[in-house]
Amino acid sequence: MTTSARSVDMPSGDSIPALGLGTWYFAERAGRRAQEIAALRLGLDLGMTLIDTAEMYADGAAEELVGEAIAGRRDEVFLVDKVLPHHATRSGTVKACQASLARLGVDHIDLYLLHWRGRIPFEETIAGFADLIEAGLIRHWGVSNLDLDDMRELTTVSDGCQTNQILYNPARRGPEYDLIPWLTEQSIPVMAYSPIEQGRLLDNPALDKVARRHNATAAQIALAWVLRMDGVNAIPRAADPEHVRQNAAAADIGLTAEDIAEIDASFPAPTRPRPLEML
């Protein structure tokens, strides 16, 4: 079994898998370590070759776990990592990346993101990203949790942003009003984190009804709903192999117009601008 071959194109011309692997909350319990590593390795086997992590996750321990999981398989992986905003000065960005590389045990990161906006000007962070690219330590850079005004400002500084990683799922549709359309116009893909709202969507009657029609779970339908859009990829967290298999199967669910209408009735599309939500 492998996932759907659908991919998402970045402005650089590189393609990334539409469905990847998130690692938020990984490496927080020693007893789950072997299971979490097995989940990541199975994900790679199933074609979910984008792995997302961050220096913030478990204070760097998640990066160490990812490094162990991909040891000997680095060439298969599109590796995404993030710098904390208070580290994101020009020199601080470089130092943070070097520390992440050491924990990961790799020589480069494919896509390095500003985790959210802080007080440090974009110019400084982007200069740090440029230094890292020149040194061969990262291939591309992007951002996370930036709303429309932030993105507009960012693009006055540089046109090199490759993605905006945001909270997006049926219960968090605010970005559809203005942020996602603007990103689409700029050919900047969306990377959706928490696409099943950390499990809080599992009891929704509309998702459950659609799931029964597809012999699927509500979580799979929520994930298929996120993946229905071109230019959007998703990075659900799955800490055990069975959950990874279920996520992989969601990539092949084709939602019908009736399915979409029922989900829309339960989770209406936004009719006005909303502040970007974060978890």
SS3 readout for the chain: CCCCCCEEECCCCCEEECECEECCCCCCCHHHHHHHHHHHHHHHHCCCCEEECCCCHHHHHHHHHHHHHHCCCHHHCEEEEEECHHHCCHHHHHHHHHHHHHHHCCCCEEEEEECCCCCCCHHHHHHHHHHHHHCCCEEEEEEECCCHHHHHHHHHHCCCEEEEEEECECCECHHHCCHHHHHHHCCCCEEEECCCHHHCCCCCHHHHHHHHHCCCCHHHHHHHHHHCCCCEEECCECCCHHHHHHHHHHCCCCCCHHHHHHHHHHCCCCCCCCCCCCC
Cα separation, 279 vs 277, in Å, equals: 7
Q: What is the pLDDT of residues 88-136, one digit of tens each?
A: 999 999 999 999 999 999 999 999 999 999 999 999 999 999 999 999 9
The percentage of residues in the chain with a pLDDT greater than 70, rounded to a whole number, is 98
**Considering the chain, what is the average pLDDT of its residues?**
96
Per-residue model confidence (pLDDT) at position 5 = 63
Cα separation, 249 vs 216, in Å, equals: 9
Beta bridge partners of 51: 21, 79
Q: What is the pLDDT of residues 31-63, one digit of tens each?
A: 999 999 999 999 999 999 999 999 999 999 999
Task: Reply yes or no on whether 57 is catalytic.
Answer: yes
Q: What is the pLDDT of residues 144-171, one digit of tens each?
A: 999 999 999 999 999 999 999 999 999 9
Cβ contacts of 259-266, under 8 Å, gap ≥ 24:
259/210, 259/213, 259/214, 259/221, 260/225, 260/228, 262/206, 262/209, 262/210, 263/170, 263/206, 263/207, 263/210, 263/221, 263/225, 265/206, 266/170, 266/204, 266/205, 266/206, 266/207
Q: Is the pLDDT of residue 3 over 70?
A: no
Q: Quick one: pLDDT band at residue 1, thresholds 50, 70, 90?
A: very low
Q: What is the pLDDT of residues 211-230, one digit of tens each?
A: 999 999 999 999 999 999 99
Beta bridge partners of 95: none
Which of these is catalytic: 57, 112, 168, 193? Answer: 57
